[in-house]
Structure 1
Amino acid sequence: MSGFRGVEYYAELADDAAPSYKLLPFRFTKLDGDHYVVTNMAGEYEILGRSVIEELVDHRLSPKAPEYVSLRSRHFIADHHSRLGPDFLALKVRTRNERVSHWTGLHIFVLTLRCEHACPYCQVSRQSENKTAYDMSEQNADKSIVLALSSPNQAIKIEFQGGEPFLNFELMKHVVAKSTEWNAQLPNPKSISFVAATNLAVVTDEMLEFCKEHDIFISTSLDGPEGLHNKNRPRPGGDSYFRAVSGIQRARQMLGRDRVSALMTTTASSLPFVREIIDEYLRQGLPGVFLRPLSPYGFAVKTKAIRAYNASQWLKFYDDGLDYVIDLNRRGIDFREYYASTIVTKMFKDEDPGYVDLTSPAGVGTGAVVYNYDGSVYASDEARMLAEMGDETFKLGSVSDSFEKIFTNDTFLTALDESFAYSSPMCNDCAFEPWCGADPVFHWGNSTTSAARSGTASSAPETCIYSEPWLAVWSPIHS
């Protein structure tokens, strides 16, 4: 029996033959004018005119139309030439969501809430340097290590946070030593990496030597030029900028240039200076900047910093910054805006970059988990920030609990279930959904009335407002 099809199978359809194809799931969103972006569940996309979409939906699109073959090859439609189309689409969807099966990779250890800075937008409700009651104990640290090593993920990252984690340096050394020792005793040892989120103000050469010895990455804060940074991040002596940039230079010299990164936070004072902020990152030799708004937690709420600007002001700030970054690259200066870079990666590659705020289901618990200084376990860094404000909605348990109890309780499973953007109102109609995500902690924390909090913790209009950079990124792509 021949495995080849007859000649008639390959014959061209007559010009008057009615199109015969099956629509596979897709969505579309208007870009500008007559341009629409059309996406499917796997994140494949096409830019189509309205008339083509109408013909497609009405089953009038001719197989001889230039868009037909492309739509078929990207699994928007299936015909007698592509009966395996639905199976290939399912395979691509599974590949894009492979990270979920790997489970929790980022394990955040809050070594202390103590900090010598007094940032008005601080999300974690820091404490003064002398309040050692806000330090993690060695006992809680050991229990946290056991939980981290229990993760099915074979590549985990332990991130030290605070406050200022180097104010509890002895415990940092203990965690590095014990996690390395206990990991080596596992039947299948994991790949472990370390990172310290620090303002660098109190970091000594001894601390940096330890980081070099154990390959610990440094993540710090740089809010822009000296005046802006000092205003956003005040500390005794008014020298936070000097300590930050000199710390970046020292850390790079001792650890290597690729071992130090920086983040900025946008305050109302930052809004007129997006280009100056980017220029400061260039001046410090940093490869890119992550333009990000304030989060509705901690002192950002208490000091009302979160209310200092609205979504429109933030989007103008972001648009201006992205335009400047694009212009820099056109002039041959290699520089990234990391939020846009994340979006582009999600659009053009099969793998997910793992940015927990843009994943579906959300990264709460599966992408990251937090072991707080007091032994509490939270679904995300934002969840523990919310808890510092008195709301423990997303507390998963204690470090004394078993791994199974923490990751099978109703708190975790409900948050995970409600974070599937594909099944969320509004999100399920949006063409950007395959690349986007809804953080349930953000929406819960950003609720302003008890009525809002009596509902769901899933998608909400705020994310759509702040995710309009999707459109900003698309404009230069399709034009």
Structure 2
Amino acid sequence: MSKFQGLDAYISTTGAYELLPFRFERLEGGEVVLTNAVGEFAFLPQEKLQALVDHQLPPTDSDYAMLRMKHILREPGDEATLELLALKTRTRLSHLANFTNLHLFVVSLRCDHSCQYCQVSRQSEDKAAFDMTRETADKSLDIVFRSPNQAIKIEFQGGEPLLNFPLIQYVVEKAEQRNVAEQRNLQFVITTTLSLATDDILGYCRDHSIILSSSLDGPEDLHNKNRPRPGRDSYARFVDGLNRARDIVGYDAVSALMTTSPASIARVKDIIDEYVRLGFNGIFLRHLSPYGFALKTKSYQAYNTEQWLKFFKEGLDYIIELNKAGIPFIEHYSNILLTKMLTSTDPGFVDLSNPSGAGITAVVFNYDGEVYASDESRMLKEMGDASFRLGNVHENSYEEIFTAEGLLTALEESFTLSVPMCTDCAFEPWCGADPVFHHGMYGDMLGRKPESEFCKRTTGVAKYLLEIMKKDQEAKELFMRWVNPC
């Protein structure tokens, strides 16, 4: 039996190599980060980058093998390198073949809250004209089950969707009946403040495996300020609803989402502590979106991207401290980016999808039968801009809706591999396209990248994650556990 050759047999002695596609970005301290075509990255001193591109980097250099492993350079005969790159590319883009998974049903615009930063044109509780009807729900379900995706998620939104709970029951039972033949992986989510969640409603959610996605902005005073309602008891109702939902539906069947308001900016540790105190295992430090009442009440303009990034970095540092102290806790936006940075998987988060996740990852069925490419598209329409309206379930077929000009144009014009400045950006493999945001803010689907707050946020967070991983090995190991949970 022949033995394997020694390591020396696999080390080039000629120094001949060719460069594979990569991009780079200068970091603080004279280093650069290189990213390859699938988002794998490497740190190099700037002078070593120069030697690399001049084909002067010797095989004996301490970073040579790493650059070869990261598919940034390859030697003659390295056919496996190209095959691995192709495999990783297919893996990263494989979710596109499944098409639309998330289907949002806006069952009512009525709401019992009056959040100043609300992105929806909410209506008062007694305006039943803003509820989805059974006829519209049936037509919407027809479209849902035309999706080729084996996994179908139906998410009920509002307003406060519990104000039209009978329709939720109708849709759930109709979908379950259809799924007897369809045999899809069917999931249901209700996005609710929990303020109106009775034990009967929660029992129904338990019996039909419905997940609850709620809202918590922080401690009681902050939550009540951000999410006012009659009685000024928004927080108390949330906590009561949370406890009963965990008891009846299941502890892990309830999640919470926060929104960073102007009042939140100086209180990130308080917010995180509240999530920890209430037993949540993570938080999404979410910025405001420039839609609906968030613009009308000037909430969106009340802090800028730099202030949000400071808020975010302080929060992430604190979360890392908590983990080092033995308190497991995740920051979900970081985790989405880290999954793209440290694995070959794309988590399919709509805002960081490329091509844009509008329509092909999620689609919205409004209470009136109108169909939109994304939740933000619906919000934009409420502000008078119908650019991303795809059709109406009472008037248009599945084919007409998903070949609508508003969708195809958005996908074509926002594909980052062909967008000016995105093509040269080292963070492009981790980023996404948000044509709705750029259209709403700048009047076109590309926007001006140096001025884009979307770009500033994404690159700002990505750079900070890189800085942490470069200087803190324990934090990097923590991030690896986030993206590869047991």
Bin for the TM-score computed over the shorter chain: over 0.9
Question: Structure 1 counterpart of 2:207, which letter?
Answer: E
Native 8 Å contact 1:218 1:260 kept in 2: yes
Aligned position for 2:456: 465
With 172-181 and 34-43 compared, the bigger mean Cα shift is at 34-43
CA shift in 2, pair 1:131/1:82, >3 Å = same
Native 8 Å contact 1:120 1:299 kept in 2: yes
Question: Superposed, which structure 2 residues align to 1:269-280 within 5 Å?
Answer: 269-280=263-274
Native 8 Å contact 2:414 2:446 kept in 1: no
Structure 1 Cα separation of the partners of residues 118 and 445 of structure 2: 28
Q: Deviations over 1:368-425 (max 9, x none)?
A: 0000001000000111011111111101111132111111222211111122222222
Aligned position for 1:3: none
Aligned position for 2:338: 344
Question: Structure 2 counterpart of 1:305, which letter?
Answer: S
Matched, 1:443 2:434: no
Native 8 Å contact 1:418 1:457 kept in 2: no
Structure 1 Cα separation of the partners of residues 344 and 11 of structure 2: 33
Q: Deviations over 1:230-250 (max 9, x none)?
A: 000000000000001111111
Matched, 1:20 2:16: yes
Question: Superposed, which structure 2 residues align to 1:149-168 within 5 Å?
Answer: 149-168=145-164
With 86-95 and 37-46 compared, the bigger mean Cα shift is at 86-95
Question: Structure 1 counterpart of 2:93, which letter?
Answer: N
Aligned position for 1:356: 350
- Unmatched segments (≥5 aa) in structure 1: 1-5, 448-452
Percent identical residues: 52
SS in 1 for 2:44: strand
Alpha-carbon shift at residue 461 of structure 1 (Å): 2.2
Structure 1 Cα separation of the partners of residues 445 and 144 of structure 2: 32
With 219-228 and 45-54 compared, the bigger mean Cα shift is at 45-54
Native 8 Å contact 2:438 2:445 kept in 1: no
- Which of 406, 416, 421 is 1:421 aligned to? 416
- Which of 222, 235, 250 is 2:216 aligned to? 222
SS in 2 for 1:286: coil
Aligned position for 2:479: none
Structure 2 Cα separation of the partners of residues 164 and 466 of structure 1: 29
Q: Deviations over 1:224-270 (max 9, x none)?
A: 00111000000000000000111111101111111000000011111
Structure 1 Cα separation of the partners of residues 319 and 96 of structure 2: 32
Native 8 Å contact 1:438 1:463 kept in 2: no
Matched, 1:247 2:241: yes
Alpha-carbon shift at residue 185 of structure 1 (Å): 2.5
Aligned position for 1:138: 134
Which 4+ runs in 1 deviate beyond 2 A?
Answer: 9-14, 83-88, 454-461
Structure 2 Cα separation of the partners of residues 256 and 331 of structure 1: 28
Q: Deviations over 1:102-134 (max 9, x none)?
A: 100000000000001000000011100000110
Aligned position for 2:388: 394
Structure 2 Cα separation of the partners of residues 456 and 311 of structure 1: 19
CA shift in 2, pair 1:10/1:408, >3 Å = same
Structure 1 Cα separation of the partners of residues 90 and 279 of structure 2: 39
CA RMSD of aligned residues (A): 1.9
Structure 2 Cα separation of the partners of residues 23 and 334 of structure 1: 41
Question: Structure 2 counterpart of 1:236, which letter?
Answer: P
Q: How many residues align?
A: 465
Native 8 Å contact 1:28 1:36 kept in 2: yes
Structure 2 Cα separation of the partners of residues 90 and 258 of structure 1: 37
- Which of 384, 389, 408 is 2:378 aligned to? 384
Native 8 Å contact 1:35 1:48 kept in 2: yes
Aligned position for 2:320: 326
- Unmatched segments (≥5 aa) in structure 2: 472-486
